[in-house]
Chains A and B, each alone.
Chain A
């Protein structure tokens, strides 16, 4: 019996979280949601996931701060983190890569490509 892949989506937009939730659950993933980096960190202290998908621009703690915090700790140091963002700047992409992000996906996302990326990094 194969294990269901668990995903945490982190985005301050309720609309985007709903869109992601629909795209991922219809492909058989188990999805939890957080509305910013701080909420994600608090949730991840108590829960396990296989992949984190995070936006960059968020209040309280942004996507860069979340990546940094997860890579600095021990529990989620090796957790795949996909950045899903409207940002198209190469500088920001490089910054995410240098901080330890696993991949960079540009919104508006294509559900097929997103799902393929999640499957690739989850195993």
Chain B
């Protein structure tokens, strides 16, 4: 697992100093920045992070999601994609609001490990969903480091598109719980 530049990123453009402003992206979040000193960081087990970068606008963003459990009563193998689609859309919209163009977006995917043998391969399901989403939305996937059985730490410089992905001890992975389809708050309807 190594540092990888995105297309359009200037080689060696990560400054040695001053120290970056590190922002953690937690499960269920999407953050976007064009700040030259900003570094978006996350630790992933079976969750997946998408890093999006617009090389022309020099803006990038990261999300961190775990697909929701299927609705009650449905096939146990059915994966509820709703929450993943929502977090992908949240990231894309925030990118567009910061000047990015959807057609120029370049994506990296990380995570999707299956940490515990014998348990449901939710990491693989997350990875498959993320790849299929990018394909459907015609967003170019330039790099992925997904699967396996180790947790990962991802550090992303959104202004340059530089990503560093390293294996870390599984004990560093957050306690990931599948997100249930929200029943209150989100999804609220207001008729005018």
Residues of A bordering B, CB below 8 Å: 12-16, 18-19, 57, 59, 86-87, 93, 97, 101-110, 113-114, 116-117, 120-121
Q: Is the CB of A13 within 8 A of B191?
A: no
Q: Is the CB of A108 within 8 A of B182?
A: yes
Q: Which of B75-111 contact A (CB under 8 A)?
A: 81-83, 85-86, 88-90, 92-93, 96-97, 102
List, in ascending order, chain B residues with CB within 8 A of A18's CB.
136
Q: Is the CB of A13 within 8 A of B85?
A: yes
Q: Is the CB of A113 within 8 A of B189?
A: yes
Q: Is the CB of B82 within 8 A of A108?
A: yes
CB of A117, distance to nearest CB on chain B (Å): 5
Digitize B121-139: 1 where CB-to-A-CB distance is under 8 Å, 0 elsewhere. 0000000000001001100
* Interface range, B side: 20 to 34
List, in ascending order, chain A residues with CB within 8 A of B136's CB.
14-15, 18
List, in ascending order, chain A residues with CB within 8 A of B86's CB.
86, 107-108
CB of A98, distance to nearest CB on chain B (Å): 9
Which of B133, B186, B188 touches A15 (beta carbons < 8 Å)?
A: B133
CB of B64, distance to nearest CB on chain A (Å): 16
List, in ascending order, chain A residues with CB within 8 A of B81's CB.
15, 19
What is the chain A residue whose CB lies nearest that of B134? Answer: A15
Alpha-carbon separation in the docked complex, A12 to B97 (Å): 15
Given known A-B contacts A12-B102, A19-B82, A109 and B187 have beta carbons under 8 A apart = yes
